[in-house]
Amino acid sequence: MTLANQMTYFSEKEQTFDKIILYMDLDAFFANVEIRENPKLAGIPLIVGGNPQTKRGVVSTCSYEARVYGIHSGMPISQAVKLCPHVTMVRGTYKLYSKVSENIMQVLSNYSPVMKIAGNDEAYLDVTNVVSDYEEARKLAIELKDDIFASEHLTCSIGIAPTKILAKIASEVDKPNGLTVVRPLEISDFMHSLKITAIPGIGKKSYIVFKNHSVETCGDLAKLPYQLVFQKFGKYGLKTWKLVNGYNIEKTDEKFTSHERKSISEERTFFNRYSSWPDIWVHIDSAIKTIVSKAKEKKMHFRTITLKIRFKDFETATRAHSLLCHETSEKQVREVVKSLLEEYNIKDPTHIRLVGVKISNLKKIDVNQRTLAQFFNKSD
């Protein structure tokens, strides 16, 4: 392909950024699950993978304390032990990781109906239609991080940007437990400061090629004339040049799949004010009304009702109750929420910072099928 052909790709579309993408990746996934299960493993160099007795096999992942010694995923255990002789090794509980991964993806799916699972601990959410701007997206990400921690006691890193690749790159810069937002006008500045290896797909070999041409950072590449980049690094080099110069190189295509809504929820936060029980009830009631009417609109009925309470110290608790069969009634939700709230046995309502009500286990209403309540009313 000639350069002239390549340059036809400098289209108007490449200058437009009309999406807000959130990318989430769990921190040291397998290792942090092991630490959660056995807190004695916290704060030490830890390897998951291989056989701890024979010291054979490869590192699946390792704690950040082990990374300091140069240990990383895919490295032979024998080499890792040479780098850090006192490293602790665990075999790995893969069934548990897969269950945790499933739960995390379930939590994520509540934040946008447009989602792409990219691996066992990573996924993209298109939140363009969920938030109105990047500031709201940032708040959504904080909530998502809290939610993930409350449900699985794991931390993650999140990147928010107008494209998938930028969101992924952004998630890496502040790992672990990071949150980085890159708005469209900030792309060039953000990219220029990064090492060229921050770009997914640029590994050791490509790095050497770039380095031989004095390109170590994305900024170095961005400064080169594109003709020269094409000549020296070919079409992938040119694509990378466009990326670091703030062009949108992502095709608008399949990349995301819309999934069926798995739950409907509403939350109310009591910002900087003391909440009383009547006040809290007004908010819970309005949340219930909203979710039930949304379910009706979507012709869905539900079986599980969850009440979430977050306290001023950010401790979050959730309690759920599943009905015997699918329902549509507001009254039913109110009764369940009331009894769930009683179970919490909260003495002082002023400690409550947030209340959330969720209905899940959703099913499309079959017009021929009556709910249990309707059935009994009919036969009364």
Task: Give the helix/strand (H/E) hosting 115.
Answer: strand 114-119
Binding footprint of ligand DCP, residue count (CB under 6 A) = 15
Interface pick for ligand DCP out of 19, 22, 112, 121 (rule CB under 6 A): 121
| Catalytic position from the list 65, 122, 152, 266 | 122
CA distances from residue 159 to 54, 107, 170, 177 in whole angstroms, order as listed: 39, 17, 5, 11
Whether omega for the bond prior to residue 113 falls within 30 degrees of 0, making it cis, is: no
121 near Mg ion, judged by CB under 5 A: yes
Residue 336 sits at φ, ψ, to 5 deg, of -65, -45
Asked if 100 contacts 154 with a C-beta cutoff of 8 angstroms, the reply is yes
Whichever of 149 and 226 has its CB closer to Mg ion, that residue is 149
* E strand spans, 234-367: 257-258, 263-269, 300-311, 316-327, 352-360, 363-364
111 near ligand DCP, judged by CB under 6 A: no
Q: How far apart are CA 152 and CA 144, in angstroms?
A: 12
| Shortest distance, position 121 Cβ to ligand DCP, whole Å | 4
Q: Which of residues 163-192 bind ligand DCP (CB under 6 A)?
A: 175-176
Whichever of 158 and 187 has its CB closer to ligand DCP, that residue is 158
Whichever of 128 and 155 has its CB closer to ligand DCP, that residue is 155
Whichever of 73 and 361 has its CB closer to ligand DCP, that residue is 73
Interface pick for ligand DCP out of 46, 61, 163, 222 (rule CB under 6 A): 61
90 near ligand DCP, judged by CB under 6 A: no
Whichever of 27 and 147 has its CB closer to ligand DCP, that residue is 27
Asked if 359 contacts 291 with a C-beta cutoff of 8 angstroms, the reply is yes
| Shortest distance, position 25 Cβ to Mg ion, whole Å | 4
Q: Which two tokens stand for residue 341?
A: 């709230």
The amino acid that residue 368 corresponds to is N
Span near ligand DCP by CB under 6 A; candidates 118-126, 263-271, 279-287, 358-366: 118-126
Interface pick for ligand DCP out of 20, 23, 45, 60 (rule CB under 6 A): 60
List all residues 6 or more positions away from 287 whose beta carbon is below 8 Å from its beta carbon.
266, 267, 268, 355, 356, 357
Respond yes or no: is residue 122 known to be catalytic.
yes
Query: Left, alpha or beta for 188 (phi > 0: left; psi -120 to 50: alpha)?
Result: alpha
26 near Mg ion, judged by CB under 5 A: yes
Interaction site with ligand DCP (CB under 6 A): 25-30, 60-61, 73-74, 120-122, 175-176
Interaction site with Mg ion (CB under 5 A): 25-26, 29, 121
Catalytically active residues are 122
